[in-house]
Structure 1
Amino acid sequence: MPRESVVQDREALAEIELYGELIIAASAEPEERLSADRIDEVLGTGRRSGPEREGG
């Protein structure tokens, strides 16, 4: 398997894992949608700022 394909496979698997984490969090959420803060928490990202955060 070419090296480029292996890297792409790792990236795809990491992305699938993140989607899975979001699905699990969404299914456990009593609200209809996950808040931006909750999404950041699930994905392990830093807090966002600016217009995209305020708009949801």
Structure 2
Amino acid sequence: MSCHITRRVHDHLALAEIELCGELMIAASAAVEERLSPDRIDEVLEVGAEPAVRRPRSVARRGE
């Protein structure tokens, strides 16, 4: 007997990590240099930015 489970589980942490990886890939593909500098990686990932100051990812992508 085959049992098909249709429940979907969303791992919000994994989805956020995938989104961040995507942002890094976009930045790397647009970079002139061979590698992203640590400062550029921090900028892309918005390291150190206050939560209220962070732009939504879709807006950040269009503005760069």
Band the TM-score falls in, shorter-chain normalisation = 0.5 to 0.7
Note the residue ranges of structure 1 that are not aligned, 5 or more in a row. Answer: 47-56
Larger Rg: 2
From 26, 35, 38, give the equivalent of 1:36. 38
TM-score by length of 2: 0.59
Instruction: State the number of aligned residues.
Output: 41
TM-score by length of 1: 0.67
Note the residue ranges of structure 2 that are not aligned, 5 or more in a row. Answer: 1-6, 49-64
- Percent sequence identity is 71
Structure 1 runs (4+) deviating above 4 angstroms are none
C-alpha distance in 2, partners of 1:28/1:13?
Answer: 23
C-alpha distance in 2, partners of 1:39/1:15?
Answer: 14
Match of 1:15?
A: 17
Pick 1 or 2: higher relative contact order, CA cutoff 8 A, min separation 6: 1
Query: Is the helix fraction higher in 1 or 2?
Result: 1
